[in-house]
Amino acid sequence: MTNEYPTFLKALQESMKIYPDRVGAQLQFLSKFKEALGQNLIFPRINFRAEQLTPELQNAISRFARIEQRAKSIKSIFEGVSEDIKIIRRVLPESGWWLAPSILHLPAGLVTEGAEAARNYINGQKDAIDNFFVNICQKDDNVFLKKMVKKWDKNTYFKSWLNIINDTLWAHTQEKYTLSVPTLLLAIEGIATKYCETNIGSVKNIRSKGKEKIRRALERAKNNNKQLDELMCSGFLLGALDNVIYKDTELMERDAKNNYAIYLNRHAIIHGLSHDYGTLRNSLQCFMILDVLSLLS
């Protein structure tokens, strides 16, 4: 022990230098520690008694055990969150919603709530996903929604629409959804149009085709944005654009024609076919479309 202990302790001290309070670095520390053990082969060959260990080494070994346990716990949490995200991804399109950047950045606890809502939806509680989004966005005086909108301030393509968007945010918080919904639909198309004109070229051939502008903008932007590319792979918003938001009202199911209030259909709203579009759900979905467009850069 006398000959090997200084070598081992030196290796241990070097590995301890990279111990900050971050998961990735903690795992790196574990790797370095194990490497030090492997090189010096102290533990397999020597039967330590507690009184033979210096306080410094006792503390190091104790810290190692705590870090290893914490790393295992965090790994377990990550695996659980990963499974939760999978079920959310699967259920959202069917429920008429889609993944947006702000939803992807929810704390693990809220992701778990989202997964529970998805399971409830599968089990027949069809308003479970609606309630999940409402609870997140409306909680604590709409703090989540306000923070989400604030993040758009730095986006070039949102710049000319910021005053209008902030006005609609106020209208939304006052439950004046008849004002927020149509105005946000116009902002959505305006932002997509600006992006296409700047990065793709003339949009005269699709002048009155809002869905096509949004689609082209997202398809172009995903090449330079990994997060948007991942969202696009999920189908996410594109399915909702095709199946509900921009679907020809003549092609919608009979029950949809009789109750436009439960659908965010651009044609029905802008062309006066729906008088009951002013719902919390429709207003929130407009903000979620904008949140996806905030990835245009």
Task: Quick: pLDDT tens for 26-85.
Answer: 555 555 555 555 454 444 444 444 444 456 556 666 666 666 566 555 555 445 556 777
The number of angstroms, rounded, from the C-alpha of 163 to the middle of its chain's C-alpha atoms is 25
Name the residue among 247, 238, 230 with its Cα closest to residue 103. Answer: 230
Q: How far, in Å, are 69, 108, 151, 166, 175 from residue 146 at the CA level?
A: 38, 20, 9, 9, 15
In the block, tokens 């910021």 appear at 162
Confidence of residue 105 (pLDDT cuts 50, 70, 90): confident
Q: Is the pLDDT of residue 8 over 60?
A: no
Q: Is the pLDDT of residue 210 over 80?
A: yes
CB 145 within 8 A of CB 287: yes
Residue of 92, 99, 165, 177 whose CA lies nearest to 138? 177
CB of 268 closer than 8 Å to CB of 260: yes
The CA distances from residue 231 to 6, 32, 42, 79, 236, in Å, are: 53, 36, 50, 20, 6
| Residue 284 pLDDT exceeds 90 | yes
Q: How many CB atoms lie within 10 A of CB 147?
A: 10
In this prediction the pTM is 0.71
Average the pLDDT over each of 98-112, 131-145, 153-167, 244-258 and give the range with the smallest value.
244-258
Task: Give the pLDDT band (50/70/90) at residue 91.
Answer: confident
- pLDDT confidence of residue 160: 95
- The more confidently predicted of residues 18 and 113 is 113
DSSP one-letter string for 246-275: T--GGGS-HHHHH-GGGS--HHHHHTTS-S
What's the pLDDT at 246? 87
User: Is residue 101 over pLDDT 90?
Assistant: no
The one-letter code for the residue type at 269 is I
Asked if residues 210 and 188 have their Cβ atoms less than 8 Å apart, the reply is: yes
Q: Is 275 left (phi over 0), alpha (psi -120 to 50) or beta?
A: alpha
Q: Which residue has the higher pLDDT, 40 or 281?
A: 281
How far apart CA 110 and CA 78 sit, in angstroms, is 13
Mean residue pLDDT of the chain comes to 77
Q: Which has more pLDDT, 277 or 4? A: 277
**Residues ≥6 apart with Cβ < 8 Å to 171:** 177, 179, 180, 183
What percent of the chain has pLDDT above 90? Answer: 32
Please report the pLDDT score of residue 109 as a whole number: 72
Tokens 């060959």 sit on residue: 45
Q: Where does the pLDDT of residue 273 fall: very low under 50, low under 70, confident under 90, or very high at 90 and above?
A: confident
| Sign of the CA dihedral with 75 first, then 77, 79, and 81 last | negative
Q: List C-alpha distances in Å: 245 to 248, 266, 294.
A: 9, 6, 19
